[in-house]
Amino acid sequence: MIWNHGKMILEALLLASPEPLTIKRIAEVIGLDERDAALLMADLQKDYEAPHRGLAIREMAGGYVLTTRPEAAEYVERLLQPKSRGLSHAALETLAIIAYRQPITKAEIENVRGVKVDRALETLLERGLIEDKGRKEAPGRPILYGTTAEFLRYFGLRELSELPPVEIDTSEPGLIVPTRTGGGEAEREVQASLFAGGEEPSAEAADGGAGESTHGEEE
């Protein structure tokens, strides 16, 4: 295969794939061994490092994805803002607890948050950010929840170890505080997303992740 032709095919695969592409999968589709597929990916990544390119190839969730460059984020957000379906504060807080305490049951999440989390869990399951991880060996065998590969992709992470360190204060329900600020690009993005407070209440009904009521439950 002509090398440049291979890069053209790889570029098309990255654009068309609904999930991160692994080197193994690339090798299978293009008909290369994994070593050559990895070299092809590295070469294409260099092409995308040119300052005039609006896209970049990032490694996340065990594979590679084609993404917009951070420098263009402001303009992409303007384009997508009318259709944006951000997560509510309730959903983000629930997601943060699951991400740091997984696998975790609904009752354990509610113990940390201090409110019911049925609606938030429903939203996160519908968005594919969390999933059923099995059953806990306890009375009633409650479902254990954990994050998914989509969670990693949503926050631009390669693995869970890139999550910023936090403290979850069980003496004050719902208090989750980053133990440091800054860090790498991925860590800053997650901090901005998970700990920014989510959407205003008026937007929460749109995504199903309702806010908290005065009765200690999500509306």
Distance CA 134, CA 60 (A): 25
175: nearest Cα among 96, 86, 122: 96
pLDDT (0 to 100) of residue 145: 97
Q: What is the CATH number that goes with domain 3-79? A: 1.10.10.10
pLDDT (0 to 100) of residue 120: 93
pLDDT band with cut points at 50, 70 and 90 for residue 192: low
pLDDT (0 to 100) of residue 34: 94
Q: Taking residues 165-184, report their average pLDDT.
A: 52
pLDDT tens string 27-82: 999 999 999 999 999 999 999 999 899 999 999 888 999 998 888 888 887 777 64
Instruction: Kindly list the domain boundaries of the chain, sorted by start residue.
Output: 3-79, 85-207
pTM: 0.52
- Asked if the model's pLDDT at residue 211 lies above 70, the reply is no
pLDDT (0 to 100) of residue 214: 32
Give strand pairing partners of 55.
68
pLDDT tens string 117-154: 999 999 999 999 999 999 999 999 999 999 999 898 88
Q: Which residue matches tokens 């989390």?
A: 117
Fold of 85-207: Arc Repressor Mutant, subunit A (1.10.10)
> Mean of the per-residue pLDDT values for the chain?
79
- Asked if the model's pLDDT at residue 90 lies above 90, the reply is no
